[in-house]
Structure 1
Amino acid sequence: MMTGLDRISYQSRWRHIAPEWKFLLWLLLMVLAFTLPVLGRVMTLLFTAALTCFVARISLWRWCRWMALPLGFLLVGVLTILLSIGRDPQSLWWGISIGHYWLGITPSGIITANDTFWRSLCALSATFWLVLNLPFDQLIVLLQRARVPRLITEQILLTWRFIFILLDEALAIHRAQTLRFGYRSLPKGYRSLAMLVGLLFTRVLMRYQQMATTLDIKLYQGDFHL
């Protein structure tokens, strides 16, 4: 089973372009995200969104929905930058009194929060572009050409493999529970979720043992042929 992001990366218009060029373009977009002023970051964000939708063959609405997933964490971080606590209300653009302190917004906080928001959003869109256009086999090739230690590459490969095993087992258990009305009510839903976590751990261990047995049969010597 492949996730939606992984499937799109294999259907990209730039599927056969060398991974080094994709990585260099990602580096360029990241440099622009951290060096340009706010207006330049907005233009870079729009360019990256248009390029991603065209190359990855996805709609703008779908891109916006996926970008909205980490946006909540970003807004929480920006909010902590925007709000300030102090004793002097004169330094605040807007504030409320909390005992002997004032909680509010300073002009410098607005500038910093605005700068951080667009920088983070631009960098996030660049990374999202790389994920949607760099299939996993090209990522392995890129790591090898970058002389990344073989052990780290193998760990990434195994982690990626077990992500799909975990998702596959979780979906199979959830489907079986749904067919038996395991999520019909809130108490049953919590009970079914607890059972899913317990069964998932057992099933993943079984799949790991099966993979280890398969590797032993193939005379595995501790190295994967990458």
Structure 2
Amino acid sequence: MRWVTFDCFGTLVDWRHGIATSAELVAPGHGGRLLDAYGPHERAVQQESPRLRYREVLAEALRRACAEEGVALRPDDAGVLAATLPYWPVFPDVGAELARLREAGWRIALLTNCDRDLIAGTRRRLPVPFDAVVTSEDAGAYKPDLAPFTVFRDSFDPERWVHVAQSYVHDMVPAHRLGLRRVWINRQGERPADPSVPQDVLPDLRGLVTLL
């Protein structure tokens, strides 16, 4: 079987828009600042507590981002990211390219740093059905740990496997360690620390089927 696995948030779903606009709801005027501060705190919380539910990771990372930026956050507002996550927008290039993949005979799966219940809400907005989902809750660890990848491998034993993702750290690096074929969806125009880690680079999903 030929499989393409995707990261979800950042690759298929616009998490930057989701975090910024959600933070704006509870801290008006500070959404952009909190978005910029948020990422490192999320990674730190995941590393400190790999079995923590993702909704709790979201809340703690937002608390830390607010503390860093000196932005007041009411205790009951820390859950805003988990509450809004199922409504974060899907990138406009996603639907057509995923449909082409399925038409070309590829099976598609999500390897996501998320809880089962939260990703279930997001899947309602994804325009194409997925054949499999592995969450951090299933794996007991968050990417860049290899556990989500090995859970998928051991569950589905893919004959051909390509991993496609936006995050260099969370996805390209562990996929490189495992020797997977990998495509970096570099939506932010970043420069990789090691150019050999991503094998192929696209600015979005358009052209992925042709590349594969």
Larger Rg: 1
More helix by share: 1
**Scaled by the length of structure 2, what TM-score is found?**
0.25
| More strand, by proportion | 2
Per the normalisation by structure 1, the TM-score is 0.24
